[in-house]
A = this chain, B = another copy of it.
């Protein structure tokens, strides 16, 4: 790979990390690890390799990789006869995120349900809570649906499918 291509790739990793930091409140390094694991070669990488690739200390790998494996984004691979443990993106990584969203929605709705029970059903403030609960329920339903249909189709998009997001495509 040319040095130029490598630079562009690392720039991309940084862009993904920035997005995750801004939108999901992920720590910077966690985002970089994630971005790197999406495009690294080979797929399996040791903690040391990752640290060097993204320019972070080795010590910071432990908590970050722990969190990423904790949420089901990354998996550990321990080859017998080797002392290094490798990490790789799990096959349907992003689906795991959706599953977590569904779980969060469920626990949220548990709270709204309590609120509805707490208030007089024909009061106006009950309506406010019900309106929230309604949207949350819709979200829970459609996200559950995304998870199940996605794992039904194996999660793999068409092999040679050209990228065509509905919004304009760029350089």
Q: Known interface pairs A117-B171, A137-B165. Does A19 touch B130 (Cβ–Cβ under 8 Å)?
A: no
Q: Number of copies of this chain in the oligomer?
A: 2
Q: Is the Cβ of A98 less than 8 Å from the Cβ of B139?
A: yes
Closest B-chain residue to A146, C-beta based?
A: B138
Q: Is the Cβ of B146 less than 8 Å from the Cβ of A23?
A: no
Query: Which residue of B97, B157, B170 contacts A133 across the interface (Cβ within 8 Å)?
Result: B157
Closest B-chain residue to A145, C-beta based?
A: B142
Q: Is the Cβ of B131 less than 8 Å from the Cβ of A94?
A: yes
Residues of chain B within 8 A of A118, CB atoms compared: 5, 8-9, 12
A6-21 contacts to B, CB under 8 A, are: 8-9, 12, 15-16, 19
Which DSSP category, helix, strand, loop or mixed, fits chain A's interface? helix
Query: Chain A contact residues (Cβ within 8 angstroms of B): what range?
Result: 35 or more
Query: Which residue of B114, B125, B130, B149 contacts A161 across the interface (Cβ within 8 Å)?
Result: B130
Residues of chain B within 8 A of A79, CB atoms compared: none
The verdict on A132 contacting chain B, using a C-beta distance below 8 Å, is: yes
The verdict on A111 contacting chain B, using a C-beta distance below 8 Å, is: yes
In Å, the complex CA distance between A165 and B169 comes to 37
> Nearest 3 CB-CB pairs, A to B?
A134-B157, A113-B163, A94-B135
18 A-B pairs with C-beta separation under 8 A: A8-B118, A9-B118, A38-B128, A39-B125, A41-B124, A93-B131, A94-B132, A109-B165, A113-B169, A113-B170, A121-B162, A122-B159, A127-B159, A130-B157, A130-B163, A131-B156, A138-B149, A142-B142
